[in-house]
Structure 1
Amino acid sequence: MYRDSVYDEILQKVNEEVTQYERKLEIDPTDAATAYRLSLIYKDGLGVTKDYEKAYQLVLQSYDTDQNPLAANVLGTMYYNGMYVEKNQEQGLQLMQYAHEQGNIAATFNIGIHLLVNADSDTAQEAQGLEMVRTAAEKGNHFAQFAYGGFYDDGRMGQDYTIAFEWYQRAADSGSSGAAANLGFMYRNGVIEVDDADDKALEYFRKSAYMHNAHGMYNLGSMYDNGISVEENQAVAFYWFTKAASKGSANATYALYRYYSEGIYTDYDPELAMEVLEQAAASGVTAAQRDLGNILSDEDSEYLDYEKAAYWFEQAAEEDDLISINNLGWMYENGFGVEQDYATALNYFYKAAEAGYAVAQCNVGRYYIEQRGGMPKDIEHAKQWLQLSADQGYERAIQLLEELRDKPPSGDSGFWKKLFS
């Protein structure tokens, strides 16, 4: 089985640190600095299983010892977010405010984010929040640098990818795994144009992955899966997809579906494949929702369930997935899992057709011929839609155009065979 030696070496070092810290606390329970460091490891799951209870007990121990502002900030975030303890934003803010007043820049950043999230239309509060985030960023807090870069990336500060890149670069250099992953995205997607963009993307995805970032792990796996800047290696890809999925990456979970369903590198396991597909769909991965709908609507599938299929197609359709939109039309046309309704079917077909999906364009043309869904019989419009579909190489549209030339439609819908997605 493939193992990443560098990543395993990092994990080993973390485990050794945990052991050392725990021994030091056994000798001196008042060692506030050690209790604080160990609390962060358990809070963030850095090389160990995430454990909020342990993190809380350790950071409380550190704070009670000497009112350490570092510990006060972490304790504040745990109360603010309800990590192990009952959620109490007021108490959390009080602890973070104390830390901020003691010069803790992480607390400055956290309060700034709180102000931004709750600013609504209060421009003065928003300005104060932005200033606190910027202050923390300029003082070297990598979370603040990452967030401030994001403000330029997503347009909150006026979209400027160059400035976003600069802040992400500073954050990544300071240890932000999220910023490293975003730099990888910017190189991979051509936002930053350089000759060796894919090599740079690989470098930053690897850096992010080694810092335990799920997005970095997933994208590193994708680079190996597709042979981008590295030799294609399914063993390495499977390793990183598995790591990313264990960290909560829904995209990585979906990627594992193909491995289990096709037996790529790992054992062929259709039950496990279905399990990870359902997990990815439930987590909002549009392609997984569509694939799950396709399986559940396949009459030859042991999982056949039209009602569930319609549900998953609806979820994917909300994200404008054209195949799922067309498939919903097919289900309404045939009354599979929903009440048969030609007008609703046509609405779905039209939506996908106007967006350029060939199968749906063919279906709209067919509805003009068959006079379904309230459509008039209009051979010219039917030909126009069928031609758009045929121009994309869709065989059924090509066939129907030929049939229109050779034999006028009789009006008998049985003559026009059902079209399936």
Structure 2
Amino acid sequence: MISKIKRFVALIAVAAVIALPTSYFLIPHGERPSLKIQHPSKTSKLSYLERLESKALAGDANAMFRMGNNYKYGYNGLKPDNTKAIEWYEKAISHGDADAMNNLGVMYKAGEDIEQDYSKAIELFEKATVLKNGKAFSNLGSMYQDGKGVPKDYKKARELYLEGVEVGNTYSMANLGFLYYFGNGVEKDPDEAQAWFLKAAESGETMPGLQFMIGLYYFDGHGNQKQDLMQARLWFEKAAKQGHADAQSFLGNFYYYGQAGLSVDYIKAGEYYEISAQNGNAYSKEFLDKVIKNCNLYRYKILSLKANISCLVAAPSGDPQAMYITGLSFYFGTRGLLDKDYERAAEWLQKSAKAGNVWGQIKIAKMYNEGLGLKEDPIEAYAWLSVVENQKNIADALKKTKADIRDNIYKNFNQSEKKKADLKAQKYIELYLAKEN
């Protein structure tokens, strides 16, 4: 099992080197306030901006820079506006503000609402490094590392990163780690790379790509470090919380195989695969496509172990059949896989019913009518059976049986309950009738 995951690691590592720039791990970074923005009332927001603008107009370079940030990132109730951000950064630069030089350099490098110009970006980064701006050292180093606007020069990049480290810049530490990890301009040294990665991580900067690489180091057991799946998992979790697709995929694998101190949990694995696929991980998407196909392929063997596993993994993706079989698995209990759990059965059957699965609708109606796993609610049961009666993809005999049950439920309602039941039934028919109808 480990070898399967290692092959996956090799694939994504190669893809990162061949197809993706350095920014795959560390995006070009402008200077942003590290504190969370408070959300006062609209009046106080306006007064804050008015006070800040007043300082800026009076010649305060830092206030000009902060005005630029407010427009760049949409802080304090403003809509993001790169054009106005550029205007304020340029004013701040004219007053010698190094952070503004760095941020505008990043915008020239990326071509954000301004014509992309590597030469201009380099010029601004160089001016900021003269003023010992840490992020500018890192950004200028990345220009040399990637060969953007200048010939590729790993030695020069390393020198700039070291200067950035001297002024405490976290990104420079991380980028030095990448040079050693991939052996760019230096002898490949995974232990030296990890030392820089950890030093950067200890700074408190939230860099998911960096956290993923630290996890990968522990996962593979590079250099003098033996494989440590528990440590790998901790770092992957940090990166996954910030949306790192590869880290999310690894966590899916850990839950799928029951590794890194985790018990096997196919549903949890599916949750991680699903969000990983949404965030662009091709491996997770391919695997989910496969389990969804298998789940639907074995739909007539719904209590088989193979069908159960595929459907449990596929359920978080929202596949109606997968959610239905997952609900049934909890309803009956599956030997060696799941214990009987009516509450979780109701949860998944409800989801499948809302996705238009007629069998899920029949089952959830029964659970509402009998109070299994949720509060007994005949009106809910009636509404779901009304949906079933209007489905076209079930046999007439079964439809009639369910209609008879529905009518018997209806007979016991008083006038007020009948009115509520009819309204809910109509609403559910509009919302949850299968698409093929």
- The TM-score range, normalised by the shorter chain, is 0.5 to 0.7
1:350 and 1:263 map into 2 onto residues whose CA distance is: 34
In structure 2, the residue matched to 1:335 is 258
Correspondence for 2:174: 254
Say if 1:352 and 1:372 are closer, same or farther in 2 by CA, change over 3 A: farther
- In structure 1, give the amino acid aligned to 2:49: L
Greater length-normalized contact order (CA 8 Å, ≥ 6 residues apart)? 2
What amino acid maps onto 1:130 in structure 2? L
- Residues in 1 aligned to 2:38 and 2:243: alpha-carbon distance in whole angstroms: 31
State whether residues 345 and 373 of structure 1, in contact with CA within 8 Å, keep that contact through their aligned partners in structure 2: no
Please give the secondary structure, in 1, of the residue aligned with 2:79: coil
By how many angstroms is 1:355 displaced?
Answer: 3.8
Contact 2:244–2:279 (8 Å) recurs in 1: no
Q: Look up the match of 2:94.
A: 173
- What secondary structure is seen at the aligned counterpart in 1 of 2:220? coil
Distance 1:287 1:119 in 2: 27
1:295 aligned to 2:231?
no
Aligned match for 2:138, one of 195, 218, 238:
218
Q: Amino acid of the residue matched to residue 311 of structure 2?
A: M
Aligned residue type for 2:80: Q
| 8 Å contact kept, 2:267–2:313 | no
The alpha-carbon deviation at position 235 of structure 1 amounts to 1.4
The residue aligned with 1:102 is none
Counterpart CA distance in 1 for 2:159 and 2:101 is: 20
**Letter of the 2:230 counterpart:** E
Work out which of the residue numbers 227, 232, 246 in structure 2 matches 1:323.
246
Q: Is the 8 A contact 1:343 1:372 kept in 2?
A: no
- SS of aligned partner of 1:375: helix
User: Counterpart amino acid of 1:170?
Assistant: K
Which segment drifts farther, 161-170 or 255-264?
255-264
- Deviations 1:289-343, CA, capped at 9 Å, x for gaps: 1112122122677331111111111111111111111110111111211222122
Match of 1:239 among 159, 167, 175: 159
Q: Structure 1 197/262 Cα, relative in aligned 2: closer, same or farther at 3 Å?
A: closer
TM-score calculated relative to the size of structure 1: 0.57
Report how far residue 267 of structure 1 moved.
5.0
Query: Percent identity, aligned pairs only?
Result: 27
Q: Distance in 2 between matches of 1:336 and 1:298?
A: 14
Q: Which residue of 2 aligns with 1:161?
A: 82
Q: How does the TM-score come out when normalised to structure 2?
A: 0.55
Kept in 1, the 8 Å contact 2:111–2:117? The answer is: yes
Residue 365 of structure 1 is aligned with which of 286, 289, 294? 289
Q: Is the 8 A contact 2:266 2:313 kept in 1?
A: no
Classify 1:124/1:353 alpha carbon distance in 2 versus 1 (closer, same or farther; 3 Å): closer
Work out the CA distance in 1 between the residues paired with 2:90 and 2:256. 53
CA distance change for structure 1 residues 330 and 372 in 2, over 3 Å: closer, same or farther? farther
- Where does the alignment leave 5 or more consecutive residues of structure 2 unmatched? 1-32, 295-305, 318-437
Name the CA distance, whole Å, in 2 between partners of 1:377 and 1:179.
48
Residue 230 of structure 2 aligns with which residue?
307
Corresponding position: 1:205 with 2:125: yes
What letter is aligned with 2:275?
A: K
| Deviation of the 1:192 alpha carbon | 3.7
Greater Rg by CA: 2
How do residues 145-160 of structure 1 correspond to structure 2 at under 5 angstroms?
145-156=64-75, 157-160=78-81
Q: Is contact 2:155-2:185 (8 Å) kept?
A: yes
* Structure 1 position 366, deviation (Å): 3.9
Cα 1:288–1:371, aligned 2, differ >3 Å: closer, same or farther? farther
Q: 1:300 and 1:215 mapped to 2: Cα distance? A: 29
Structure 2 CA distance, aligned partners of 1:377 and 1:348? 10
Map 1:101-112; keep pairs closer than 5 Å: none
Distance 1:131 1:263, change over 3 A: same
Unaligned runs of 5+ in 1: 1-112, 382-421
Distance in 2 between the 1:359 and 1:120 partners? Answer: 40
Asked if the contact 2:176/2:196 (under 8 Å) is kept, the reply is: yes
Counterpart among 199, 211, 216 of residue 279 in structure 1: 199
CA RMSD in angstroms comes to 2.8
Q: Distance in 2 between matches of 1:340 and 1:183?
A: 49
Residue 142 (structure 2) pairs with residue 142 (structure 1): no
